Every structure is written in C-alpha cells, then in structure tokens.
C-alpha cells in the first residue's frame, strides 16, 4: 500500500499535488512519501512481533544502499531503525542521519582497512565478514587500534534465490560470503586471530525475492550451522537474516509474500535459536514510497508503436536498463484513454528504454507521468551520463513537502573537472 492517489483526477503524494511539485522543482524529480515509509516500517516491525529475539528484540537495520537520502534515513532513525551499510560513505550518511552506531551493521566483500577503522572508531554493532582474508585484515586493523571488532561471517548457503541474476547473491558461484562448507574453517581461523569477537552468523541471498522457499531453505541451513558452531565451542549471539523481500512492481503479477508471511516463516524457522535476530530490509521499506516524476517531451511516430520520449532517462532510473526491471508508468492527470507505446529517455543508448509495447494511459507532449515503485534503487543509482544533472529528490509529509536534494546545476558538474597545467 502507498500514499500516491488520485484526488480530483490529479495524482497526489499524500496531500500534495504532483503538478505543484513539478512546477516548483522541475522534472525529472524523485518524490517520496513519509506516510508510506512510516507505514512500511510499522508493517515490518509488526511482522516480527512474534519472533524470538532475546530481551533487546530484533535489530532492523535498513539497507542504506536502497535509498541513502539523509531525510529518508532520518525518518527511519526517528522510528528506531538502524542501518546496514556497505561502504564508509554509507556509514557516515547513516550517522549523519542520526542512526546510532550500535545499530549499524557493515556488510560487503571489499571493505578497506580505512573503512574498517571508521567502523571501529564509530563503534558499530557488527562487521559481517565475507572471507578469511577480510577477517585477517580486520584483526590487524583492530589490534593496531587497541580495540576489539564484533564480527559475524556472512555465509553463502548455495541457495538459488529465483530472482534476476544481477541481484542474486546466495549461489556458490556468487562473490558473496563464505561457502557453507568452509564456514567452520573460517570461524576456526577467526578464533586464532587477535582482536576479533565472534558474535554470530549472517546470510543474504538476494533482492526482490518473490517466493519465501529459498529464504526458508537458507535460514534452515543457518540454523543447522548455528548448532554446529555451538557444538564446536563458538558462542553465537546474533543471526543476521539479511533483506531481500520483494515488492509489487507489475499489478498484473502475483503480489510477493507480505511481511507478515515472511515474519511467520522466520518465527517458525528460528524458534529455539536463542540469538538476537538482525534484519536488513531495503526495498520493502522504501520501494513503493517513491515515484520518479517526469514530463513527456514529445511523441515520435514509430514503425509500429509510437515512442513517448520523457525527460527522465536511464541515468535517473537505471533499473530497467540494468535489470530489465518493469515500472508502472501512469499519467498524473489520466484522461481514461489508453495507448500502446515505447517509453524512452533522451540518452543516446538504445538501452535508455523504460518500456516496450506498453499499454498505458495516453499522453501528449507536456503531460506529466510517474514511474511508480521507484523509491528503492532509484535516485541512489542515478548518475550524470550524457552530462545530465543529478536527479533532485523531494520528501512529502501530509500537506508539507521539501526538497531533500536540490537539482545540481550542470555548471557544478562542469566545474568539477579541472584542466591539467599543459592545456
Ligand atoms: C542489498 C542488501 C540488502 C537489502 O536488500 P533488499 O532487497 O533491498 O531488501 C540487505 N543486505 C545486504 C547485505 C545487501 O547487500
């Protein structure tokens, strides 16, 4: 459920009309809904109400990479969420948004010594290590600083997530985690190293998961591993079950499992684990909470279907070109008539195509459209290809709204390059 609805025939974000935002800020622009973010956080918390997770309850660490806007993160920080970060930059952003260090988990296969120092200086909750060499580096960094690093190993359970290959992370040929069969050896190695406090285990098998079975299979393997690790003498206090729950993009497709069903599955599988559970949801919190608002520049005749050329492009929203992702495209002021069209951006790449042969609300030049479900992996992946300014972001809250990232002038982009002395 989201808070983007028609009022008097015009699409609104909560109580704010999208044409008003387009008028004031220009297009393309990302628009987020506070009420939708808050609702999704509440739904996710409620879904976990019955899981066994010790006195502290589960730690919900929002996956910052899904939407790192400071205002979006601060909205979640105010609701008690922590952060799952995958770089020093994300760690600093989470802290700048008011997320407490002791609710921050650091994931990723390529943490550098500098990023490890930052995590240790801040005093984060846990490092999720993805290899033995990474454990060795962290041990060295922690020892040099005279501190101890709380760690878990991310385990690669060799479970096929059934999602797009580029967002599938739990197969044995994927770069992520320590292979399930190597897990005991990795813990043994970490125990030999100075400066590491072994805390737990972690797993994350992929994103936009639309079936609970692969997650269940992965979590069952983690349960078995926890028992094996304890039998071998390791104290396991945390189990991080990652993120990955899918969201509906295409209204014609079955709705992915709801958080409540996910929570019930987790509750069943993790019963008796006697750990604090950590969750790293990203998309399920912010996906439906954002749209990309764009204006139709012109409609060009095609051989079969017309091309609707909009002012948003693959640099603003990469998911279609990167993952063949499907985004619903709707008129801000629908007339009730439909057309079949190819929807494309202005960039000089054939990959700059949002939709082919899409049956959609009919549009004319100057009309506003939105790409729905663009709150996750949208603005965060935007870039300046074709010397296009970075997409601005707006946050709506009831009848209020604010620019939470200003449109960067193209002049700033040009000024960022400097000439060498010989030119
Ligand atoms: C990307 C990522 C997530 C979040 O995935 P979603 O599908 O957005 O929920 C969680 N944990 C890790 C380690 C990730 O890389």
Domains of the chain with CATH codes: 4-32+287-415 (2.40.37.10), 34-283 (3.20.20.10)
Q: List strand residue ranges (DSSP E) for 210-335, in order.
A: 238-240, 276-279, 290-300, 307-310, 329-331
Q: What is the pLDDT of residue 194?
A: 97
DSSP secondary structure of 294-329 = EEEEEEE--SSS-EEEES--TTT--HHHHH-----E
- Token reading at 156: 């690669």
Pocket test for ligand 1, best of 63, 105, 125, 164 (most atoms within 8 A of CB): 63
- Ligand 1 pocket member 207 (CB < 6 A): yes
Count of CB atoms situated within 10 Å of the CB of 192:
10
Q: Cβ(280) to ligand 1 under 6 A?
A: yes
Tell me if 106 sits within 8 A of 141, measured CB to CB: no
pTM (two decimals): 0.97
Biggest alpha carbon–alpha carbon distance for the chain: 70
- Report phi then psi at 308, rounded to 5: -95, 115
Reported as a single tens digit per residue, the pLDDT across 20-68 is 999 999 999 999 999 999 999 999 999 999 999 999 999 999 999 999 9
Low-confidence ranges of the chain (pLDDT < 70): none
Helix locations, 101-182, DSSP H: 113-122, 132-145
Among candidate residues 38, 40, 36, 43, the one with its CA nearest the CA of residue 13: 36
Q: What φ, ψ does residue 406 adopt, rounded to 5°? A: -75, 155
Ligand 1: nearest atom to the Cα of 108? 13
Establish whether residue 334 lines the binding site of ligand 1, counting it when its CB lies within 6 angstroms of any ligand atom. Answer: no
Give residue 63's pLDDT. Answer: 98
265: which 2 tokens?
Answer: 């599955």
Find, among 233, 238, 280, 283, the residue nearest to 256 by Cα: 283
CA 242 to centroid of ligand 1, rounded, Å: 6
Q: Please work out whether the CB of residue 90 comes within 6 Å of at least one atom of ligand 1.
A: no
Q: Separation of 360 CA from ligand 1 center, angstroms?
A: 31
Q: Say what the pLDDT of residue 369 is.
A: 98
Q: Is the CB of 380 under 6 A from ligand 1?
A: no
Verify whether ligand 1 is closer than 6 Å to residue 243 (CB atom): yes
Q: Would you call 348 a catalytic residue per the annotation?
A: yes
Check residue 164 and give its pLDDT: 81
CA of 244 from ligand 1 middle (Å) equals 6
The number of residues making up the chain comes to 423
- Rounded to 5 degrees, what are φ and ψ at 256? -60, 160
Q: Which residues contact 59 (CB under 8 A, 6 or more apart)?
A: 82, 103, 105, 125, 276, 277, 278, 279
Q: What span, in angstroms and rounded, lies between the C-alpha atoms of 148 and 195?
A: 4
Q: Could you tell me the two tokens for 361?
A: 């609300």
Cross-strand partners of 206: 168
Distance (Å, whole) CA 103 – CA 63: 12
Q: Token pair for residue 115?
A: 């990023």
Of 40, 65, 106, 214, which is best to mutate to test ligand 1, by the most ligand atoms within 8 angstroms of its C-beta? 65
Give the pair of three-digit tokens for residue 90.
């994300």
Q: Which of 374, 393, 381, 63 is nearest to 249 (CA)?
A: 374
CB-based contacts of 65, cutoff 8 Å, min separation 6: 86, 90, 282, 377, 380
Given a contact cutoff of 8 angstroms between Cβ atoms, the answer to whether 163 and 157 are in contact is no
pLDDT at 411: 95
What is the full DSSP assignment across 342-408? EEE-SSSSTT-EEEEEEEEE---TT-EEEESS-SSSSGGG---GGGPPPPPEEEEETTEEEEEEPPP
Q: Among residues 231, 348, 414, 419, which one is catalytic? A: 348
The residues with which 152 forms a beta bridge, in sequence order, are 128, 200
What is the Cα–Cα distance from 25 to 28, expressed in whole angstroms? 9
Query: Rounded to an integer, what distance in angstroms lies between the CA atom of residue 185 and that of residue 252?
Result: 47
């Amino acid at each position: 459920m989201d808070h983007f609805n028609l009022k008097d025939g015009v699409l609104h974000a909560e109580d704010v009309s999208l044409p008003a935002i387009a008028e004031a800020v220009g297009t393309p622009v990302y628009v987020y809904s506070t009420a939708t973010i808050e609702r999704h956080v509440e739904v996710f918390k409620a879904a976990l109400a019955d899981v066994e997770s010790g006195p502290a309850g589960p730690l919900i660490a929002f996956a910052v990479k899904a939407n790192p806007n400071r205002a979006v993160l601060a909205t979640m920080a105010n609701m008690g969420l922590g952060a799952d970060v995958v770089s020093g930059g994300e760690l600093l952003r989470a802290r700048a948004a008011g997320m407490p260090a002791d609710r921050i988990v650091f994931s990723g296969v390529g943490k550098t010594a500098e990023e490890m120092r930052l995590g240790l200086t801040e005093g984060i909750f846990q490092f999720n290590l993805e290899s033995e060499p990474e454990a060795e580096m962290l041990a060295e960094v922690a020892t040099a600083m005279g501190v101890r690093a709380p760690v878990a190993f991310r385990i690669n359970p060799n479970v096929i997530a059934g999602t797009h290959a580029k967002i599938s992370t739990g197969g044995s040929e994927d770069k992520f985690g320590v292979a399930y069969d190597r897990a005991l050896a990795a813990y043994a190695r970490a125990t030999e190293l100075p400066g590491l406090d072994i805390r737990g285990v972690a797993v994350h098998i992929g994103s936009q998961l639309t079936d609970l079975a692969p997650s269940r299979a992965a979590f069952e393997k983690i349960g078995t591993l926890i028992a094996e690790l304890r039998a071998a003498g390791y104290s396991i206090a945390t189990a991080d079950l990652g993120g990955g729950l899918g969201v509906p993009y295409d209204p014609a497709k079955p709705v992915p499992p709801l958080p409540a069903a996910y929570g019930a599955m987790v509750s069943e599988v993790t019963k008796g684990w006697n750990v604090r559970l950590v969750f790293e949801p990203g998309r399920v919190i912010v996906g439906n909470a954002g749209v990309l608002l764009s204006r139709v520049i012109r409609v060009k005749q095609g051989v079969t279907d017309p091309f609707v050329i909009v002012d948003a492009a693959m640099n603003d929203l990469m998911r279609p070109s990167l993952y063949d992702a499907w985004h619903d495209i709707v008129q801000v002021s629908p007339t009730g008539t439909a057309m079949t069209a190819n929807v494309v951006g202005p960039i000089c790449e054939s990959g700059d195509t949002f939709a082919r042969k899409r049956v959609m609300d009919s549009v004319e030049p100057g009309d506003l459209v939105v790409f729905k479900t663009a709150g996750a992996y949208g603005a965060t992946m935007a870039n300046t290809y074709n010397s296009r300014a970075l997409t601005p972001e707006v946050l709506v809250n009831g009848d209020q709204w604010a620019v939470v990232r200003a449109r960067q002038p193209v002049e700033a982009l040009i000024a960022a390059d400097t000439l060498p002395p010989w030119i």
